[in-house]
A = this chain, B = another copy of it.
């Protein structure tokens, strides 16, 4: 003969609540890991009771899968989103992926790849995201072949190679002592150049012009050859 749901029960439209939940879960996934996504933690982030999370996601595995998809989709915009020449876009991609700021994302992929072993929903979600990455990168490469930026014949094969390289690089995201070796540091760019028939260093040069915030600070000294590529953040829409 007792109460329930009595006091503060701000009722929200289901779609919005659901979005809040996956959003909070995605944040947790990116910052702390997928296994930290727990009914109680997500609930506390939203100042809500754990049961509510179960209401939207009866099985926690599905929430984890959704959180992964959302987090990855959000990050993809930063990697492949910018416009510009195919070479410039690819240079931005490889540089960003290898930047220290991408560690959380690498960790998340690593996390998901492992957890897929025990979570079917996550496995499906992961393979879907893989496919999107592959398609977008393939399109980018195909465009670059059309413009003459790249010399590869098979865009899909090149995309696959580059993405595997990204995974290989990301596998070290949880290592304590960081690798300084250039063979490691620029592995993704090196593989990309190899896969696309570019000259060695082509991507590094292109990304020095376009470059992600941080690395511009360390190499602020050239002002001639970048003119052909540099318009990245401008040509939107």
Contact = CB atoms under 8 A, between A and B. Distances in A.
Contacts of A168: 164-169, 171
A187 B174 contact: no
Q: Tell which of A107, A113, A175 has the most Cβ of chain B within 10 Å.
A: A113
Nearest to A182: B157
Contacts of A118: 33
Interface string A188-231: 00110010000000000000000000000000000000000000
A110 interface: yes
A39 interface: no
Interface of A: 33, 107, 109-111, 113-118, 120, 123-124, 126-127, 130, 154, 156-158, 160-161, 164-177, 179, 181-184, 187, 190-191, 194
A98 to B, nearest CB: 12
Contacts of A126: 175
A33 B194 CA distance: 35
A187 B190 CA distance: 14
Given A167-B168, A194-B194, A114 B123 contact: no
Given A160-B181, A168-B171, A171-B171, 13 more contacts: A33-B117, A107-B117, A113-B114, A116-B175, A126-B175, A127-B177, A130-B175, A157-B182, A160-B179, A160-B187, A161-B183, A164-B165, A194-B194
